[in-house]
Amino acid sequence: MLEGSILQTLGQSHQPGQPGKRPLNFGVYYKNTLVALCHALEDAVLSSSSSPLMVTAFQRGKWYLQEAERYAEIAQCARQIVILASPDTGFVEHPTSQMPNVSLVGLEPGDPVAQEWHLMILSPSYAAMVLCQELSAADYGTQKLPTEDRERKFYGFWTFEANLVQETMELAIAHVGRYDPELQAQLTEQLQAIATEAQTAVQDELGPVVTRVIDYLQHSQQDLNLPLRSQRAVSLGQPILDNNLVSNEIQACLRMAQLTDQADTLNPNAAAEVAALTEAISQLLDLPVWQVNRLRLAGLLHRLAPLQRDESRLSAGVARYSDTDTDEPPSCPLVPGAQVLRTMSRLRAIATIITHQTEWWNGSGQPAGLAGDEIPLESRILGLVVAFQQNVTQCRVVEGKPIDVALTEALSVCQTQQGVHWDPKLVDTLELLVNGLCQGLSLPAGSPKIAAGMWLLDSHCEEDLLGFYTEKSGVTINRP
């Protein structure tokens, strides 16, 4: 990373061992991916419930000029927009640049920020950020520099974490102070006001924003399927660019799930612990590697579906077994979190696993009233592990019991529902795992490297699980 750049400064402050700060999750992004991602995050400002402060770095003024019309519309909703770029002809003269809440900062040629691509959005209710730096010729190594603009590579990360966005924006504002101390003071005052307002503001739901991100990335992916100009792009560019887009769709879902965990002060490691437990059980069951990976991903994303903790939604569900005769096939109510996943065909199986984690072995569960082996195996495993992990946390964190006591008591609760709520064989398998944990077995429960989202693409995540299980049982289910 370039010495003195915003990305490098932030990365240094998040080195392992820094108190109160976790290491950042860096990845490599192609320009076409960043364009789609930034457009999605920018356009979310138009539907945000409060006006944000935005700081962007465009490298050169000509890139800003391509987006200036869009920024005129966004400026109508923002309290302030700051554009950092090396000046080009028309950079200052464009009408958007003349708007009272749009400020331009012309970067000197040697400024390392002139090699960076940043988008920072912070309001009391919505935060998002893209922080990247273009690879140098040396960074490409034996690969030649890209001949097509959309194949240019950038190194960095993106996030919805408000604290991290604010920290980075403070660095950017300090950098602005080298050129315009008066603007620096103005931005610092606005940042402090946002921090105060955020204490009482209702946070915007991330679901629609993530859906927008996925939608924009998918549209960009469709554009890649159009005829390309060069044979080199066909043979090399398209598959690589396509995979980069898909990886970021997965990252969007993982980041939303990560924030859900962080907001839960009593159980902030739920996703990582559930993923580790499901992986261990699937290995005890000797499931194939692709199924282990698929179940692990479902564990990381399981909190996107709020069905298991939303009583009103449970009571509104349609049970499969009913005393009322009807010709209508059993139906499955929509689960909003899983609907985000269903917008990605590659995550069809994951959406199904998460949606049906609340089914009961005896058929009295929701959302479709499936029973026994009609419930996808991964859903049965996930539901059991989620309940077990929550019970362990209740015993350990809330009641203050030792970990071995918490494990034993949580297992006992599951055993009382064996054959009613839970698959009897899976409860027996969980007992084997708990015995191992009580005897010193440890499971890695760290957060995944979100930037490496392509590990699941060979995990059969496009399968129609309900189609597979209902074909075996002869049951028909209306799919959402």
Higher pLDDT: 151 or 340? It is 151
Which residue type does 94 have?
A: H
| Percent with pLDDT over 70 in the chain | 77
Higher pLDDT pick, 93 / 137: 93
**What mean pLDDT comes out for the span 330-346?**
54
Compute CA distances 45 → 172, 213, 401, whole Å. Answer: 20, 13, 45
Q: Which of 128, 148, 111 is nearest to 37 (CA)?
A: 128
DSSP classification of residue 346: G
> Tokens for 43?
């356009």
The per-residue pLDDT of the chain, averaged, comes to 80
d(CA 228, CA 221): 13
- With CA atoms as reference, report the closest residue to 149 among 241, 217, 227: 241
Side-chain-side CA neighbours of 472 within 13 Å: the count stands at 11
Q: How far is CA 468 from CA 30, 192, 465, 472, in A?
A: 37, 55, 5, 7
What is d(CA 117, CA 24) in angstroms, rounded to the nearest whole number?
17
Give the mean pLDDT of 95-110. Answer: 93
In one-letter notation, the amino acid at residue 431 is E
Task: Give me the pLDDT at residue 434, please.
Answer: 94
pTM for the full predicted model? 0.70
Tell me which of 244 and 192 has the higher pLDDT.
192
Which one is predicted more confidently, 274 or 347?
A: 274
pLDDT of 41 higher than 50: yes
What does the buried/exposed string (b/e) look like for 114-143 if buried means 16 or more CB atoms within 10 Å of the residue's CB?
bbbbbbbbbbbbbbbbbbbbbbeeeeeeee
Whether the Cβ atoms of residue 383 and residue 358 lie closer than 8 Å to each other = yes
- HSE on the CB side for 105, CA within 13 Å? 27
Lowest-confidence pick of 30-34, 131-135, 249-253, 354-358: 249-253
Q: In the chain, what are the domains?
A: 6-262 (no CATH), 270-473 (1.10.3210.10)
Tokens of 314: 């449970």
From residue 207, give the alpha-carbon distance in Å to each of 118, 214, 252, 339, 343: 23, 11, 10, 9, 12
Distances (CA, A) of 272 to 23, 82, 264, 365, 451: 16, 37, 13, 25, 16
pLDDT at 314 over 60: no
Q: Which of 158, 156, 148, 154 is nearest to 224 (CA)?
A: 148
Q: Return the structure tokens found at 246.
A: 């898909």
DSSP 275-293: HHHHHHHHHHTT--HHHHH
